[in-house]
Amino acid sequence: MNATTQSDTMPRGPAGLLDRSRIVAQAGFNRWLVPPAALAIHLCIGMAYGFSVFWLPLSRAIGIGKPVACPDMTLFGALVTTTCDWRVADLGWMYTLFFVFLGSSAALWGGWLERVGPRRAGVVAAVCWCGGMLISALGVYLHQLWMLWLGSGVIGGVGLGLGYISPVSTLIKWFPDRRGMATGMAIMGFGGGAMIGAPLANSLMNLFRGTDSVGVWQTFVAMAVVYFAFMLGGAFGYRIPPLGWRPEGWTPPARSTRPMITHGNVHLRNAHRTRQFWLIWAVLCLNVSAGIGVIGMASPMLQEIFGGALIGKPELGFVALDDSQRRAVAAIAAGFTGLLSLFNIGGRFVWASLSDLFGRRNTYTIFFLLGIALYAAAPGAAHAGSQALFVAFLCVILSMYGGGFATVPAYLADIFGTQFVGAIHGRLLTAWATAGIIGPVVVNYVREAEIAAGVPRHLVYDFTMYILAGFLVLGLLCNFLVRPLAEKWFMPDSEVAQIQARAQTFAAEHAGSYGIGRGGLDGKAALAWGVLAIPMLYGGWVTLGSALVLFR
């Protein structure tokens, strides 16, 4: 049954600030105030994509100028050591934990979110994400890697999951007439978080860096404070429409004759019993595994492949750079991370919109075919010393990575109907959790194995690129096998009617009572968008400025 009922949304006496009954929109509310609230949260938690800017500085947290290496250190030893610097692969597990707990928490607590509303979920997400960063700051200060894993990886990962799904569900309800656009707005901020956060983190680390510190723990504290303020603002800006609400003058479109778009609805209890669910699960998992591996190592990858060429000294490899040169290279790499984030954002709008024209399965086919070609060609661009071509390849790849996230909710709605699409989407995000293990582990440990085998730093990612292309080949095959569901899976009309009965009754009783969702960019909406425009313009300006060096 739908967890949201009339009793969930109507006031029942005194209610706390986080109670669902306090956030039902009243007459005159402008629905365009909701996207900025969603973006405020997603732009903060989206910094998860930019955490690679911390890996190299943290790998010198003790040695400062040069890592204190302990070649025989085990993974358990790395968790508790106070005398050896951490390896990049050990730090990369925190990135894996982000997405394992994101997917798990989204699947586990999606129903709870629907019952309590997006405001409470947003506040809990803020506490988890920012509190996790503070625990990580203490872990860096005490040099305890397990605290970083627990703080940002586990607790922060739960915050990622709750923060991620709260605006997705809310915006789809507010924009039934523009479902694709709503999906893009809901998750574009998550893709763009690194565009703002990576340059900001790099600037803060340079500010706090000293003879006895690489500046990371101070940066964690500063960013946690700023993010907490923005995320609370977003959570308290959420409103939900009354049940049965529709945009004024809008009626649901006529049934489609396209075979890949269903006319029925599959119950949540049956969705995972179908072959289609697991094929789409594999499609998302393989697409994300390839992209997430690149994002998680974007900053070290660019630095190690091109080294001194990034600052006009192509004769110097990465290991030959001095401390000041590495700082300059790191700043450029932070811009590269932000540039990938920019394409991650754009891909979520562009590809999701194109999927309405091409169809979801065809759009994913484009992702896989084009992605295979680009991953296979990237090593050649690197060997030729073409920074611009290498960066361009990865930017297109990341646009399709973001586009995959924006397209998959509509893919699910096409196959399973719209009645339970939110809950089905939450369960499908376990594919993201799985990809969060596969992608970073493949990239990190292949890199370590190549370095141990004596492969030069500028060549250590070649084999990885071919493996990621292989992931996309498997994804292409799974996507090809997706077919429309058999009629036996669809709920009878009487069951759908029963599920929707409360909402229909409420809508009839309150018809005309809610003049909400009207208008466009009025004063309040313009102010809300303007507040978010400041950091977004900052991130875009810094990103593009840094990226110009890559296209010399």
Structure tokens at 534: 């400041």
Which long-range contacts link 386-390 to residues 24+ away (Cβ below 8 Å)? 387/306, 387/309, 387/310, 387/550, 387/551, 387/552, 388/550, 388/551, 388/552, 390/305, 390/306
Spatial contact of 254 and 61, defined as CB atoms under 8 Å apart: no
For residue 471, which amino acid is it? F
How many other CB atoms are found less than 10 A from the CB of residue 55? 22
Q: How far is CA 499 from CA 123, 491, 506, in A?
A: 30, 11, 13
Residue 12 covered by a domain: no
Spatial contact of 162 and 121, defined as CB atoms under 8 Å apart: yes
Residue 531 covered by a domain: yes
pLDDT at 359: 86
Q: What's the rounded Cα separation, in Å, for the pair 531 and 536?
A: 9
- Of the listed ranges 43-47, 325-329, 369-373, the least confidently predicted one is 325-329
The string of DSSP letters for 470-490 reads HHHHHHHHHHHT--PPPGGGB
Residue 369 covered by a domain: yes
| DSSP state, residue 24 | B
pLDDT at 552: 60
Cα atoms in the 13 Å half-sphere on the side-chain side of 10 = 10
Number of domains in the chain: 1
**Mean pLDDT of the region 66-89:** 88
Does residue 16 sit in helix, strand or coil? Answer: coil
Give the CA-trace dihedral at 113, 19, 173, 8, to 10 degrees.
90
Q: What's the rounded Cα separation, in Å, for the pair 350 and 380?
A: 28
467-508 pLDDT, tens digit each = 999 999 999 999 999 999 888 888 887 776 666 554 444 444
E-state strands within 465-508: none
Residue 2 covered by a domain: no
Spatial contact of 227 and 377, defined as CB atoms under 8 Å apart: no
Residue 11 covered by a domain: no
Range of the domain at 316: 26-252+261-551
Place 373 in a pLDDT band, splitting at 50, 70 and 90.
Answer: very high
pLDDT at 6: 37
Q: What's the rounded Cα separation, in Å, for the pair 454 and 457?
A: 9
Place 543 in a pLDDT band, splitting at 50, 70 and 90.
Answer: confident
How many other CB atoms are found less than 10 A from the CB of residue 492? 10
Residue 20 covered by a domain: no
Residue 210 covered by a domain: yes
Place 301 in a pLDDT band, splitting at 50, 70 and 90.
Answer: confident
Closest CA to 546 of 202, 55, 231: 202
135-189 pLDDT, tens digit each = 999 999 999 999 999 999 999 999 999 998 887 767 777 887 776 677 777 677 8
Higher pLDDT, 140 or 240: 140
CATH number at residue 214: 1.20.1250.20
For residue 148, which amino acid is it? L
Closest CA to 294 of 97, 191, 440, 438: 440
Spatial contact of 328 and 539, defined as CB atoms under 8 Å apart: no
Which residues, other chains included, contact 46 with Cβ-Cβ below 8 Å and sequence gap of 6+? 189, 190, 191, 192, 193, 194, 197, 341
Residue 454 covered by a domain: yes
Give the CA-trace dihedral at 419, 422, 426, 432, to 10 degrees.
110
Higher pLDDT, 226 or 73: 226
182-231 pLDDT, tens digit each = 777 767 788 778 888 888 898 899 999 988 899 999 999 999 999 999 99
